[in-house]
Structure 1
Amino acid sequence: MTKSNKVSFHNRRNFERIFFLLILPVLLFGCNFPTTKNKLLQDRSQSLEAYATPFVKVQFTVSLPAPLSDGETLTIVILDEVTGLPNNRQAYEMSKVDPLSYTTALSIPMQSVVKYRYEKIGTENMPETNPNGGHVRYRMFYVEGNTEHNDEIFSWEDDKKDFEVGRFEGVVLDQNTGLPIPDILINIGGITRFTDANGLFVFANLPAGTHNTVFYAIDGKYKVHQQGAEIATGKTTPANIKLNQNTAVEITFLVSPPDDAMGAPVYIAGNLVQFGNTFSDLLGSMSIETSRMPLLEQQADGTLRKTMSLYSGTDLRFKFTLGDGYWNTEQKNEGGNFTRQLIVPNQNITLELQIESWRSSVFEPISFSTFINPGVGYAGERYIQFKINDWTEPLRMWPIGNGDYLYILYSPFEMASPITYRVCLDTACNSPSASQLISQEEQVEQSDQPLSRSISVDSWLTELTKESYPDIYRIPFPYKSQDYKTIIELSPRIRPSESALISIGIEEIKQLNANTVILTPQWFQNGAEDLLHPEIGKTPFYFELYSYINAVKENGFTVGLYPQMDLLASDGDAFNFSHQNKSWQQSWFDSYRQFVLNYAKLAEITNTEYLFVGDKNLLASLPDQNAYNADQLEDQWLSLISDIRSEYGGKLVWAANAGAEMDPLPEFIDAFDEIYVSMDSPLSEGNSASFNQIAYGFTRNLDNFLYEVYRSTLKPVTLAFAYPSVDGAVQGCQLLNNDCNNDGLFVKEEVSDQTLNLFEQAEIYNAIFPTAASREWITGISIRGYIPGGTSDDPTSSIAGKPAKDVIQHWFSGLN
């Protein structure tokens, strides 16, 4: 099959059988919650029915912040995280008890974990909002028997309220071992967070009152724990939670597929992390990361098989798919997708299941084919991406050899609008730094006849031309010891769902000849009254970061862990530590302590060589910078450093910034082993400069205030750079503002309106490296903000896919 061929469907069934038999050697081998008038439709498989739990009645009653308006109704919406929260929703109108109270009863299988939310229906659907002002993604409720359950709605999107608040914090421990449990979801009041490496959690701003709280293991390892939490105004409610482990069992899925799409890879999408669930909103509000779904193995008799290690008592929701939880999932013969349910039994079992169909009951399949030269982009999988209202997660295309790829879409086709699609060379389909790796958008209408679409991108027919930098200033490399560090610091904007970028990054960083990689997980603070916390979908789970560190180590790199803070993403000017009262400063510092000690523990467990502490935002918390609270802060810092040292045995590094001038070092700098200076100092008084002017400006900054860092401490100093690829990059921090209060990184939203200038970024590194490498007191050089898989139309600090990469590669090769 060549790029000019189009698929003919004169006999659709015979074609598919022949096609998939040909590609087989190349390829790797619903739930509804009704009211009590109805019951959940049982899975049609007798194998699953044998393990079904009995239905029980749950009476949901909810209190409103204000009476509904005339013509408005209230619904409870049962959500399906496997299919995606916007899809396969089951909404039930609630009955009025009084103007501020509504109720309804649902029949639900025992041991189910229900994910739901409330919506006000009027001229449009109005979602409830959580205490932080965002939409409630879902509430959780664990069904243990016939019961009454009460909720309180805080506010609506169109009528947000203020309320008295308190705090909820605590620790989650293993009942048997007493050890802390990381990655436990805690759902309270429509907000979901997860425990850190020390089992700790905190919710800073919960409305006063009693809230149902669910503690949930993302892999099912621990029994679900549910209790009420009484939140008092201005008070902290502590919780010491001990969870019992469930019994580990093996569940074998033995699946009979339909007689079309034979040989295509079939996966299991599910609501647990081992079935691809991220518990966060990905593209299109989907939740499944396709690269983590388990692949069913083809058997000689045509059946499919997969054995999974699961835990008894777990509420498993799952479906079989050729795509993800929404696209190309198993269908009923009469039409419609569904999600299966299994309450995992306390024994090893084999489930014999039948996939009825992949097809829509109304429309015929659409075939997408493309040719991509093997020399284009990165070796690996190619993806197709679909859009209805929004782009959804990319799906793996099926390779058929020699650069040809195919994907056949069977369902769903129930949407009213045409399907928009495009092909991507890697999973970063929506990355602003990867436009060269994405085809043009096209549309196709659903039809009752089979359709085929051939996608052609001229630049993909031959190897992709990359910008290079031919004028590298070449001088003899100074001798460096084997301890000299050549570092790539990954961007903190890499999300957990983009885990494929870690693998891509490892290969790229090898080519750069760096010897050290720094990972930069983030915690967040949303609003002046909030505290630092990990955020699902943005902060890697413990198990994810653990695997990233090990993957980097296995490829021969030294590893550093530099935890980053994203303060007040929704209110960037509100954080002013020195202007807050002592009580707030104490609370905030306690959350910072939790943040640092979380990563200190992980760094010790993974034998990570370097742990970085410090941030430009921390300056006001240093004792010598905060006369208002100096004594208390000094005690806090010294205690924190002592605790870090008790937890972590590697090198402790203080991270500082050098903009228009060097940020002050703390009085306790002697407690650190090394210093990491992120330098975005202006290199020229104008918005452009020659090689010699840049070199002079850098040397001036180095000698005028950076050398003093070494002279005053006699500690090893690493210089870190992150100049962007835009016009005026030589201005450094003054590119953004004259106050130079940047944190050393230039991210997309800060430079997206600037004019791209790849060669200015390259010239900066070309001019500063000879001087930086010549100073013996500098023991390492780091390039910050690296975004793997990037291309040359990205204006940020990342050097990936840009001419500056050639300069870095040249110097890193010579300095190692």
Structure 2
Amino acid sequence: MAVVAVVAGVAMAAVVGPVAGGKPATGPTPANSRAATAVRQGVREFQKGIAYTGYWHDAYVGPGARRALRRLRDTGATWVQVLVTGYVRTLRSARIVRRADATPTDASLRDVIDYAHRLGLKVMLKPHVDIWGSECWRGRIGPGFSEAEWRAWFASYRSFIVHYARLAEQTGTELFCVGCELDGTVHREAEWRAVVARVRREYSRRITYADDQIVEDPYAVRWWDAVDLIGMDAYPELTRRLHPTTVQLRRAWRRWARRLEALSRRWGKPVILTEIGCRSVRGAATAPWDYLRRGPVDLRVQQRWYAAAFKALVRRPWLVGMYWWQWEPATPAGGPRDTGYIPYRKPAERVLRAWYARRL
């Protein structure tokens, strides 16, 4: 999903919504699904995940945040994705900063990861980069850069991401995401390979990258061989109907599932859906990435979208996990009057619980 964080003043109004080609330049190109099955068996476990999204410096601190994390665990989730965001001032800015008022502190990240582990959850740490005070999407970073600007941006990004790789290693975090939806940069293959190599010097466990180009160009990333899992933020437009049925949505998912399976086969690596979700607003299934859509609450469309995704995607040999967007540390959040992504206290949560109670 193309995630855009909007910040005004000290508090962050962080709303996130998705956006949704090329063969690999190097690396393995397996010819059949046996490779995908083998790599899933190597992973051993399906990641029943939920994205836990804090957008201010102390978002993960306090009894409310802990209560929210316990509720997340109670859905049957076995993995939690912890979000941390750095910022640039404009699309052309090369300097990525950790803002004292908005970026979760290292201490709070250590605390939430420790608490998640005590709850029996495994953790993915997923750093984002957003544009401060703007609705511009991070995928637009990069186009128009000069070579000097590219060097400066990657130097800053390398410093930013290595900082969190070290924290992930120190906290025993089980999975690390080296980037998210930086579509305008992924063609810089040499630089990204260098970033991943540098991260591996600090972090000893599995690594992924969160692409989101399932629609436009699923083969845009040509360096999947450098990471362990192919990550995809999945918010495809499945229908033009305002009130689609679960059957209609499930059928529409098959097209996108074939794309993901082909990607897994090409690289011989399993796929995780680093984000997947749909809002509870009328017409959400026509553009599940649209976090700004206005309209009346529609709990049923979200419920059906969840059900269709589970029915169409789980137990496929190439898929090893999914992270539903989103769950917030603030309470109360979600509920039957909410039009956002959060499934808490909505019919979609019942679907989530039912599937996460199964062996996937």
Q: TM-score range by the shorter chain?
A: 0.7 to 0.9
Alignment of 1:473-512 (within 5 A): 483-493=45-55, 496-497=58-59, 499-500=61-62, 501-512=64-75
2:238 to 683, 686, 695: 683
Structure 1 gap ranges (5+)? 1-133, 136-280, 284-429, 433-479, 624-632, 737-745
Give the secondary structure class of the aligned counterpart of 2:90: coil
> In 2, are the aligned partners of 1:722 and 1:785 still within 8 Å (CA)?
yes
Q: 1:815 to 1:650 in 2, by over 3 A?
A: same
Give the secondary structure class of the aligned counterpart of 2:183: helix
Alignment of 1:811 onto 2:350:
no
Equivalent in the alignment of 1:554: 118
1:641 to 196, 221, 227: 196
Equivalent in the alignment of 2:301: 760
Alignment of 1:592 onto 2:157:
yes
Give the secondary structure class of the aligned counterpart of 2:148: helix
> In 1, are the aligned partners of 2:166 and 2:203 still within 8 Å (CA)?
yes
Give the whole-Å Cα distance in 1 for the aligned partners of 2:256 and 2:137: 29
Deviations 1:443-498 (A, max 9, x none): xxxxxxxxxxxxxxxxxxxxxxxxxxxxxxxxxxxxx9961110011124365246
Q: 1:528 to 1:778 in 2, by over 3 A?
A: closer
Equivalent in the alignment of 1:653: 208
Equivalent in the alignment of 1:711: 265
Alignment of 1:252-263 (within 5 A): none
1:671 shift after superposition: 1.1
Equivalent in the alignment of 1:522: 85
1:695 shift after superposition: 0.9
Give the whole-Å Cα distance in 1 for the aligned partners of 2:270 and 2:279: 26
Give the whole-Å Cα distance in 1 for the aligned partners of 2:112 and 2:338: 24
Q: Which residue identity is paired with 1:767?
A: A
Give the whole-Å Cα distance in 2 for the aligned partners of 1:571 and 1:534: 18
Give the whole-Å Cα distance in 2 for the aligned partners of 1:798 and 1:539: 21
Give the whole-Å Cα distance in 2 for the aligned partners of 1:431 and 1:706: 29
Higher relative strand content: 1
Equivalent in the alignment of 1:774: 315
- What's the Cα RMSD here? 2.7
Alignment of 1:342-381 (within 5 A): none
Q: Which residue identity is paired with 1:485?
A: Q
2:102 to 511, 527, 538: 538
Size of the alignment, in residue pairs? 320
> In 2, are the aligned partners of 1:661 and 1:681 still within 8 Å (CA)?
no
> In 2, are the aligned partners of 1:487 and 1:515 still within 8 Å (CA)?
yes
> In 1, are the aligned partners of 2:161 and 2:178 still within 8 Å (CA)?
yes
> In 2, are the aligned partners of 1:522 and 1:564 still within 8 Å (CA)?
yes
TM-score when normalising by structure 2: 0.81
Equivalent in the alignment of 1:622: 186
Alignment of 1:20-419 (within 5 A): 281=10
Give the secondary structure class of the aligned counterpart of 1:723: coil
Give the whole-Å Cα distance in 2 for the aligned partners of 1:757 and 1:505: 23
Q: 1:777 to 1:638 in 2, by over 3 A?
A: closer
Structure 2 gap ranges (5+)? 1-7, 16-40
Alignment of 1:602 onto 2:167:
yes
Equivalent in the alignment of 1:795: 339
Deviations 1:224-243 (A, max 9, x none): xxxxxxxxxxxxxxxxxxxx
> In 2, are the aligned partners of 1:682 and 1:732 still within 8 Å (CA)?
yes
Give the secondary structure class of the aligned counterpart of 2:103: coil
Deviations 1:495-545 (A, max 9, x none): 524623430222112211111111000001122453211111211111111
1:763 shift after superposition: 1.1
Give the secondary structure class of the aligned counterpart of 2:184: helix
Give the whole-Å Cα distance in 2 for the aligned partners of 1:597 and 1:431: 24
The structure whose RCO (Cα within 8 Å, separation 6+) is larger is: 2
> In 1, are the aligned partners of 2:57 and 2:100 still within 8 Å (CA)?
no
> In 2, are the aligned partners of 1:604 and 1:647 still within 8 Å (CA)?
yes
Equivalent in the alignment of 1:324: none
Give the whole-Å Cα distance in 2 for the aligned partners of 1:573 and 1:757: 26
Equivalent in the alignment of 2:33: none
Deviations 1:187-226 (A, max 9, x none): xxxxxxxxxxxxxxxxxxxxxxxxxxxxxxxxxxxxxxxx
1:698 shift after superposition: 0.9
Alignment of 1:412-451 (within 5 A): none
Give the whole-Å Cα distance in 1 for the aligned partners of 2:144 and 2:306: 39
> In 2, are the aligned partners of 1:525 and 1:566 still within 8 Å (CA)?
yes
Give the whole-Å Cα distance in 2 for the aligned partners of 1:482 and 1:668: 24
> In 2, are the aligned partners of 1:520 and 1:563 still within 8 Å (CA)?
yes
1:282 shift after superposition: 6.5
Q: Which residue identity is paired with 1:776?
A: P
1:666 to 203, 214, 221: 221
Equivalent in the alignment of 1:729: 284
> In 1, are the aligned partners of 2:92 and 2:141 still within 8 Å (CA)?
no
Q: Which residue identity is paired with 1:551?
A: Y
Q: 1:505 to 1:671 in 2, by over 3 A?
A: same
1:808 shift after superposition: 0.3
Give the whole-Å Cα distance in 2 for the aligned partners of 1:576 and 1:565: 10
> In 1, are the aligned partners of 2:219 and 2:263 still within 8 Å (CA)?
no
TM-score when normalising by structure 1: 0.37
Which structure's CA Rg is the greater one?
1
Give the whole-Å Cα distance in 2 for the aligned partners of 1:608 and 1:727: 37
Higher relative helix content: 2
Give the whole-Å Cα distance in 1 for the aligned partners of 2:14 and 2:148: 41
> In 1, are the aligned partners of 2:11 and 2:102 still within 8 Å (CA)?
no
> In 2, are the aligned partners of 1:497 and 1:537 still within 8 Å (CA)?
no
> In 1, are the aligned partners of 2:282 and 2:296 still within 8 Å (CA)?
yes
1:769 shift after superposition: 0.9
> In 1, are the aligned partners of 2:57 and 2:104 still within 8 Å (CA)?
yes
Q: Which residue identity is paired with 2:51?
A: E
Give the whole-Å Cα distance in 2 for the aligned partners of 1:729 and 1:649: 39
> In 1, are the aligned partners of 2:60 and 2:108 still within 8 Å (CA)?
no
Q: 1:767 to 1:700 in 2, by over 3 A?
A: same
Q: Which residue identity is paired with 2:343?
A: I
Give the whole-Å Cα distance in 2 for the aligned partners of 1:431 and 1:527: 17
1:659 shift after superposition: 4.8
Give the whole-Å Cα distance in 2 for the aligned partners of 1:431 and 1:620: 22
- The percentage of aligned residue pairs carrying the same residue is 22
Give the whole-Å Cα distance in 2 for the aligned partners of 1:683 and 1:282: 34
> In 2, are the aligned partners of 1:662 and 1:706 still within 8 Å (CA)?
no
Give the whole-Å Cα distance in 2 for the aligned partners of 1:520 and 1:805: 21
Q: Which residue identity is paired with 2:185?
A: S
Give the whole-Å Cα distance in 1 for the aligned partners of 2:209 and 2:150: 21
